Structure 1
Amino acid sequence: MREQEQIAECLASIDVLIDAESEKLNALKDHKQGLMLELFPIKLETLPKRRFPELQDPEGWVEKPLGEVADYENGKAFEKDIEEEGDFIVVNARFISTDGKVRKYSNKRYCVASRDDVLMVLSDLPKGRALAKCFLVDKDEKYAVNQRVCRLTAHAIDSTFLYYALDRHPFLLAFNDGLNQTHLSKGSVLECPIAFPLDEKEQAKIVSVLMSVDEQIRSQTLKLEQLKVHKRGLMQQLFPVLEEVQV
């Protein structure tokens, strides 16, 4: 009986740690969400709530349709060309929505993305969490873009700034009526309003702030995952002992 109590206490202490680290992760995500509301203009506003004193260009911010600041290309169909291993990671909605954890591969050179391209999900189920979610390409010759995902190449603003400005943009989310599957058209995407500061240094500063928070989120996510793996390992070791005690 005492051994069972010790096992229960051990697992309970890990659960307490997991809950605490989960709260930290949620707090970081909330913090990022708050920063996004401060660093980008909200609806009907021309300037964000928060600006950097040393970078307040008198020309301020402008708003332009996405089609004026980036080039657009639709992804290609890879369903018949998927391999267990391949030269390219196929970027589909599942890949983007899981932050790259679920992967498929292909050797076909269809719509190969370049570093700093922004890839965005065009289709999702009603009330889904993938619609208009974006992925920033980190390397040349690594990713191929699947259908129902578009490739955007920034030419008038910083590409990482575009990634943050466009990711789950309210204009695009408004096409989801909550009843039917949503398919964003090329025309709708290119009409999406993108607000940005004319000063490239201010764009870079905003990117720096958000990338710093994202790095904290990645680190905290990894810490939480490691705790969960540790718990699973302990359970695999301890439950056989528990069975022996019960015999």
Structure 2
Amino acid sequence: MSRFDRLFATLKAKNEGAFVPFVTLCDPDFERSFEIIETLISNGVDALELGFPFSDPLLDGPVIQAANKRALDAGYSTDACFEMIGKIRAKYPDIPIGLLLCANLVFVPTQDVFFKRCAETGVDAVLIADVPLLAADEFIQTAKKYAIQSVFICPPNADQATIERIANLTEGYTYLVSRAGVTSAENQAHASNLDNLVESLKRSNSAPILQGFGIAKPEQVKEALALGCDGAISGSAIVKIIEANLANQTQLLAELAEFVQAMKRATK
């Protein structure tokens, strides 16, 4: 079993959902970013979803765009991110690690080189946000070669054929997008058909479902679980805490700890 598979089996046995944070690696710099990861893990997150700094993040709203820029302006890129993942894996051998990034970060080094580095540093799963399902096969083949799970997004307008293809392809977890648009903690409106999507994904035997986009409060975690999701992903709300405390790392870590504890409590 993969780390994600073990995680969801363990949580199911405890009748508990997963809380997964998203952060951009090396924001605002390497050492502070690692301290942020340590704080997330020590305060109860179940897995990590990590982004690499990129100049043109397609799904990201202003908050995560700014995180990308901070990391890039500080001189960090893919090499530093893989170095940090290796450091995370060495200290936390059991935490599931997923990447959410754009295809150029895979294409530029070549798929083979990229997924090999994922395997060497301890990545479990990769979601390439701008690869459509119809073009996914070549990425899946290379990922499988290195035992990396391929994760796919279920959009709010997915039809049954799309749902069935997602369920057939996605491994580790299924990323259920709450609404159309880009990431944002402010836009907390969710599509009205999420319950139908969850039901259809489950009927199609999809991998466990994590709901993301606009997840910023414990009540929303509870709502995701009530819909039948297996957990929730929160990104912009976490990155806003980082952005608001760039001048005070101690305060940043304290606020992160409080936020994570509240969100994790909502999964129980």
TM range (shorter): under 0.3
Task: Normalising by structure 1, report the TM-score.
Answer: 0.22
Task: Normalising by structure 2, report the TM-score.
Answer: 0.21
Structure possessing the higher radius of gyration over alpha carbons: 1
